[in-house]
Structure 1
Amino acid sequence: MTTPRLVATDLDGTLVRSDGSISPYTAGVLAAVEDLGVPVVFVTGRPLRWTEVVFEHVGSHGLAIVSNGALVWDVARHEPRTVRTMDAATAVAVSEELRAAVPGTAFAVESLDGIDLEPGFMERAKLPAGVRRAPVAELFDRPALKLLARHEELDPEEFWALAEDVVQGRLVITWSSSTALLEISAPEVTKASTLAQVAAGLGVDAADVIAFGDMPNDLPMLTWAGTSYAMADAHPSVVAAADHLAPGHDEDGVAQVLAGVFDLGSVE
């Protein structure tokens, strides 16, 4: 394997430990890789408000890809670099058809301003102040980065398969949760397609990218990158698709691999 020129890593279940932290060892390895002139780009399904807590580990390039590729955030300038929003009419039509096909489906909408939810959408995380509750059609009154669909009874993969039958490629559907929560984006918006844009802007080809992930929303990125690693505790589909297997996220697997790939020796 040639020495990578860009590192792309998912966060939850990949770089971030189960307690939500980035260990001192991992932080040290990321900094050492950046010191070699190799940018480390976080590529996450997290919305912006959940990604900001790890921005101290973003290197001098200052870029993070969030919301499964719908947003490239310029950390230094605290502003969007790229925004890939959904067509409101298409998203509303899809949500109505999905609810008709799978009764019990509830929706939420992510935007640059945060999250807004239908009354029946049961959010697991603490909600920020000012969240609106309204029918999904009313939530598309501002540019939307991602449509979330939740079902309280179905298995995640069963829900995904049913949704794919309804959507028929009009939007991109993926998932990264242990619950039946689908993440729906505009056509062709994936971690891979946005990472390709960022890499091109940095003068890096796909063949020179090393990528890490653990869940189905990482699959496009892992199959695009020249070198890919699934975490040891990744979803079986990710393990099958990746070139290599890294130690688990609670064992600093990404950092262990990078320390070997870049011959970093002992990192404090």
Structure 2
Amino acid sequence: MSATRPTTGAPLPRLVATDLDGTLVRSDGAVSEYTATVLRRLDELDVPVIFVTGRPLRWTEVVFEHVGSHGLAIVSNGALVWDVAAGLARAERAMAPAETLAVADRLRAACPGTAYATETVAGFGMEPGFMRHVDDDEIPRAPLAELATQPLLKLLALHPELDPDEFLARADRAVGDTVTVTRSSTTALLEISAAGVTKASTLAQVAADLGVAAEEVIAFGDMPNDLPMLTWAGTSYAMADAHPQVTACAGNVAPGHDEDGVARVLAGVFGL
């Protein structure tokens, strides 16, 4: 496996897709000046860089200055495509309230003690049993039935005791046939989207709109929610400290996120 251009003489990628946390963004939450410079160079070369993240919109906006003139971001694991320049949603792939509540009931029956939170374009809500949050006093707390009265971009499920991978496995058995269940946290926190909604399925739609094929995409990620995207893209990189499943799936390994791994690979691939 390599952290440089995968195949000598191969055509250059026409689109870059990168996860944020644990991938493009450093541990301190910043995008380094080196990485920002590489992204600007790619924008000058007319190569779109699309942020493809599990983050909700409100946590992605802080890095929008780095998406360049193309200005697209895929957030909430593919449930929302955001046009940064226009400041509006280009596509939403949400779960209906009845579907959300049915899935939550099945998962809570399979994993007693599960608590939920909800993500919409408008914001975030939590059940009383959900983890405390940095903006706790400003976030609505109520039973899920009161929070899920409109279509959700993402349902978050938290278990206080289960191992994260075990929680994911149980959830897949309980509800995985009706929705998409994944995770990106080191805690037992699951991210649930409508059936068929993944980073890959939404990225494929965006790429098609841009006239870009899967084999022309280079993608970077580090956690299980990146697996569909890394499998779909023609060239894929796991970060050096990625989840073992991601490392096994990706075709290549990049330096870690605190070493500007994404930018260093891209600089090598594009000869920057």
TM range (shorter): over 0.9
Letter paired with 1:210: I
Query: In the alignment, does 2:88 pair up with 1:88?
Result: no
Query: In the alignment, does 2:218 pair up with 1:210?
Result: yes
Give the secondary-structure state (helix, strand or coil) at the position aligned to 1:199.
Answer: helix
Normalization by structure 1: what TM-score?
A: 0.96
Q: Give the Cα separation in 2 of the matches to 1:64 and 1:4.
A: 18
Aligned-pair CA distance for 1:98: 1.1
Query: In the alignment, does 2:92 pair up with 1:107?
Result: no
Partner of 1:174: 182
Partner of 1:11: 20
Q: Give the Cα separation in 2 of the matches to 1:110 and 1:2.
A: 39
Aligned-pair CA distance for 1:140: 1.3
Give the secondary-structure state (helix, strand or coil) at the position aligned to 1:55.
Answer: helix
Q: Give the Cα separation in 1 of the matches to 2:134 and 2:175.
A: 27
Partner of 1:165: 173
Structure 1 segment 189-208 matched on structure 2, within 5 A: 189-208=197-216
Aligned-pair CA distance for 1:123: 3.7
Q: Give the Cα separation in 2 of the matches to 1:137 and 1:164.
A: 22
The 3 A distance-change label for structure 1 pair 123 and 66 is farther
Give the secondary-structure state (helix, strand or coil) at the position aligned to 2:104.
Answer: helix
Following TM superposition, where does structure 1 have runs of at least 4 consecutive aligned residues deviating by more than 6 angstroms?
Answer: none
Partner of 2:4: none
Match of 2:252 among 217, 234, 244: 244
Which structure 2 segments of 5+ residues have no match? 1-9
Aligned-pair CA distance for 1:101: 1.6
The question of whether the paired residues in 1 share the 8 Å contact of 2:24 and 2:31 is answered with yes
Q: Deviations over 1:33-53 (max 9, x none)?
A: 111110000000000010000
Partner of 2:30: 21
- How high is the sequence identity, in percent, across the aligned residues? 69
Q: Give the Cα separation in 2 of the matches to 1:223 and 1:128.
A: 40
Structure 1 segment 1-268 matched on structure 2, within 5 A: 1-127=10-136, 129=138, 131-264=139-272
Q: Deviations over 1:127-185 (max 9, x none)?
A: 473x2211112211122100000011111001111111110410000000010000000
Aligned pair count? 263
Q: Give the Cα separation in 2 of the matches to 1:125 and 1:204.
A: 39
Normalization by structure 2: what TM-score?
A: 0.95
Q: Give the Cα separation in 1 of the matches to 2:90 and 2:46.
A: 21
Letter paired with 2:204: A
Q: Deviations over 1:241-266 (max 9, x none)?
A: 001000000000000000000001xx
Which structure 1 segments of 5+ residues have no match? none
Letter paired with 2:127: E
Q: Deviations over 1:85-134 (max 9, x none)?
A: 002212101101211221110001100111111111114443473x2211
Letter paired with 1:204: V
Give the secondary-structure state (helix, strand or coil) at the position aligned to 1:211.
Answer: strand
The Cα RMSD (Å) is: 1.0
Q: Give the Cα separation in 2 of the matches to 1:257 and 1:232.
A: 12
Q: Give the Cα separation in 2 of the matches to 1:61 and 1:127.
A: 34
Q: Give the Cα separation in 2 of the matches to 1:8 and 1:148.
A: 24
